[in-house]
Amino acid sequence: MNDIDRSLLEAVASLHEIPQGAYNIRKDGQSEARNSTDEIRIIPKEGVDGIEIHIAPGTVNQSVHIPVILAKSGIQESVVNDFYIGEGSDVLIVAGCGIHNSGSEDSAHSGVHTFYVGKGAHVKYVEKHYGQGEGTGSRIMNPTTAVYLEEGATMEMDMTQIRGIDSTNRETTIHVGKGAEAVLTERLLTHGTQKAESKVDIFLDGEDSTARILSRSVGQDDSEQVFFPCMTGNDKCFGHVQCDSIIMGNAKISSIPAIRANCTDAQLIHEAAIGKIAGDQLLKLMTLGLTEEEAEEHILNGFLK
């Protein structure tokens, strides 16, 4: 791999070299490197571009890395990945996609991920999107994610769009079973004329199921963002939706949370806030010797953590 490949892998998966354990690294439309372990098997799908990840029941303290990098201008791909997580497992899955576009053609990645999480299993899923390159071609990401949680399962999802993605349309659907829990944290930064739309639907289907959505976003320059989080309670459950955004320049941000109760024992809460950086925060940091630009960057970095 060259320096561009390494910089993309570091940005989206915190990888400085080929990882230990199970991994599938995809580059420019094809598998660059793949490894399975006794507990985690990665198998190419038949008839469609993508892979299956099978995690054996009881697998703990293990991880699987499946980053995607596009370093050639003009590549447009669609990938379908299915995850089967066995009962009682406790694993980390690190995904993410980085695009380097230095040409005039658009580069795009559409990833469709489906997770089947067995009883009592715990999954932490980390996904980062990042774009770079001085070309005039766009960098486009359109991820679609579906999650099915069996009884007592837990799914923690940390989904971040760092910088450099010109257009994104994200769709996430989660079905939460009896006593199961879903926690989704989404962080988004747009700048320039970038556009981002995110739609999240969580269905609390089982008794004593819980879910939380936390969205934090920053819109700069002339960028546009739209966020549609929806929580539906179909049984005795608890759900909380929180959307916080900082707006700067001429950006436009829409946050449209919704909650729907189909059971008298469903307890659902939503809250949303959009505002600019407070002047007293900037002033306080500037009195410590930071420039206004440095103070803004410091505040934004803390907000998006």
For residue range 84-105, list pLDDT tens digits in order: 999 999 999 999 999 999 999 9
Q: Which residue has the tokens 């803004």?
A: 296
Backbone angles phi, psi at 293, to 5 degrees: -65, -45
Computed over every residue of the chain, the mean pLDDT equals: 94
**Strand positions, DSSP E, 133-236:** 139-141, 144-149, 154-161, 167-176, 181-190, 195-204, 209-219, 224-233
Specify the pTM: 0.93
Q: Along the chain (305 residues), what's the average pLDDT of each consecutive run of 10 residues? A: 85 79 93 94 94 98 94 94 98 95 95 97 96 94 97 97 92 98 96 96 98 95 96 98 94 95 97 88 83 86 84
